[in-house]
Amino acid sequence: MCALFSLLVVPGVYLLARPHLPVGCSVLASLFAATSLLETVLSHQARPHAPLFAFTAWCLVAAQRLIRAPSPLNIALAAVASGLAEATLHSGAAA
């Protein structure tokens, strides 16, 4: 299950990089995240650090969206994303 959650990091990193970088660089950033050795090892060990990486990326995407367009929906998305990051592991409180 941890390995499936850690797959969420790839589109999360792409969406995080896309507003700041060209398409090719955003794809490269998500490729680097997908082939991260630390992410792969933690996913195979079924430790909560791998899903935390994905949930933190999505938390940053939600925060970026909230800053660009404040609305009740974006506030709720940011709250859910940060809640998932914190519920995954105690160090997710930094997200």
Per-residue pLDDT reduced to its tens digit, 9-45: 999 999 999 999 999 999 999 999 988 888 878 777 7
Are the C-beta atoms of residues 38 and 79 closer than 8 Å to each other?
A: no
- Backbone φ/ψ region at 46: left (φ over 0), alpha (ψ -120 to 50), beta: left
The pair of structure tokens assigned to 42 is 């933690």
The pLDDT assigned to 92 comes to 58
Residue 72 near residue 79 (C-beta atoms within 8 A) = no
94 or 42: which leads in pLDDT = 42
Q: For the residues 54-73, what does the mean pLDDT come to? A: 94
pLDDT computed for residue 49 by the predictor? 81
Nearest CA-CA partner of 55 in 84, 77, 22: 84
Residue 93 is predicted with a pLDDT of: 66
Residue 95, pLDDT > 70, answer: no
